[in-house]
A and B are shown apart, each in its own frame.
Chain A
Amino acid sequence: MTRDEQEYDDLPQDLIDQLKSADQPVSMITSRVDREISQLAEAHFSRRRQTVWSRHPAWAAVAATALLALLLVQLRGPQVDEHVPIYADLDNSGRIDIADVLYLARTRGAEQQQRAEIDAFAMRVVSLAPTGETS
């Protein structure tokens, strides 16, 4: 038994015949052809890696900054603007009630001027006007 025959001796005969017929001498690939193929492949793969953001780095920086800012704001929670009227669900309870007034009072402190605004907020909270938020 030849070595080949020894390699194939477990296989069916028709398969052995097909493998033999396929076993042809390999063509020689020149280095030039090899180089050209490599360049083509390289060009293909480098195009895929260049995203929209990498093509426009400035916009990418803007978007990243905005995303970071948004994340930071969400993490810090609602902030009170001293000059904007207050009547909001500050503690995110789903309702505007005295707990929001407590939240505001803790945030603003007990200064006389802030106290007046907190009082006004509390009066809105207990109002029976038909806003529906109090009950």
Chain B
Amino acid sequence: MRALIVSLILMGSCCLGQAFAEDDSVRFSAMDIYLTSAEPVAAWQFELNDHHGLMKVVGVEKGESAAYARVPYYDREAVRLGEADRIVVADYSLADVARLPSDRTRIATVHLMLSGDDDADFNLFLITATTYDGLATDASISFEVQTGSEQ
């Protein structure tokens, strides 16, 4: 009888353990997007996607340059729909050329919630980067992922 009671309790605890394990598969990451350009950049646009479709955007943050004062533009409808295994982000600045960023600058941070056990497979590409004169410039884009575990 005692074994039966303990068995029932054990089965219940296994279920609790299972629920606990499900929470572990949700994690958060912040993806810092960097633009590297020899010339000052007055507008930029990039696309980020995840081939595994795991990402959910939980925040979009403005970059480090004071010339870009607002949070960048992105398709909120698509993000809301959860179909954002891709997201397009863009912004422009009317600041003087002296204030525009050049060299390596963090232009945005995309805050993500990832679920499931698989790792995300991110793909980032630059659609355009424009100088003060409105001309396309040869710039490169990269990202760094922070998981928030480092303080």
Contact = CB atoms under 8 A, between A and B. Distances in A.
A–B contact at 8 Å CB threshold (below)? yes
Interface of A: 91, 93, 95, 97-99, 101-103, 105-106, 110, 119, 122-123, 125-129, 134-135
Contacts of B87: 128
**Contact residues of B: prevailing secondary structure:** strand
A135 B94 contact: no
Interface in B80-123: 83-84, 86-92, 94
A79 to B, nearest CB: 16
A102 B100 CA distance: 14
B90 A97 contact: yes
A110 B87 CA distance: 27
A125 B89 CA distance: 9
Contacts, number: 77
Given A134-B47, A134-B88, A135-B47, 16 more contacts: A98-B128, A101-B90, A102-B42, A102-B94, A105-B94, A122-B73, A125-B73, A125-B88, A125-B90, A126-B73, A126-B89, A126-B90, A127-B75, A128-B77, A128-B83, A128-B84
Interface of B: 42-45, 47, 73-78, 83-84, 86-92, 94, 127-128, 130, 134, 136
8 contacts: A93-B128, A99-B134, A99-B136, A102-B134, A125-B88, A126-B89, A128-B75, A128-B87
B37 to A, nearest CB: 14
